[in-house]
Structure 1
């Protein structure tokens, strides 16, 4: 459990560092609310995918929402049907996706700055 917490903190720091590139929030697409809760028979793989996407969108949109006092991010509604272990795995996957997007955004900014020279 401590390894996952340490990995989440390290990934959060990486995300914070990559989010400091000065890009506006206008560049980030918004993800519509999930309909997983509305369906009574949800495919577990689909529910996990929706949770991963929701975590990535939440972290990508608001990287400052991390609460160090309770060492957790708010749980997206799309993740409520998952067990704690499934949610933790989906959270880590979503964090990874948000980090990949943050790195891609940073590389785009570097490329734009290089083109201007």
Structure 2
């Protein structure tokens, strides 16, 4: 009888150890950790999409100075409508900065003849 009890005790201990391992695995893979990563990635993607949209506006305004806000460039699709004017204005500012930098580079170079010098 002593051998039967020891075998049962060992079997119970093995089952308890297996249950503890299974419980440990399931609690270690909780859904709490992936959510912040997904949120952070989504935020980064939104920021990158917004930046691409602003650059697309700058390019559109440069290529078509008469372009209005009637149609946003394709990289802007899916972004919130609420800050559409802000993206357009930031694109305009980006283009203005690039033009000023180009003019300043020409003014700093005595051999430049692309921009009128004062």
What is the TM-score of this pair, normalised by structure 2?
0.48
Structure with higher RCO (Cα < 8 A, 6+ apart): 1
> Larger % of helix: which?
2
What is the TM-score of this pair, normalised by structure 1?
0.49
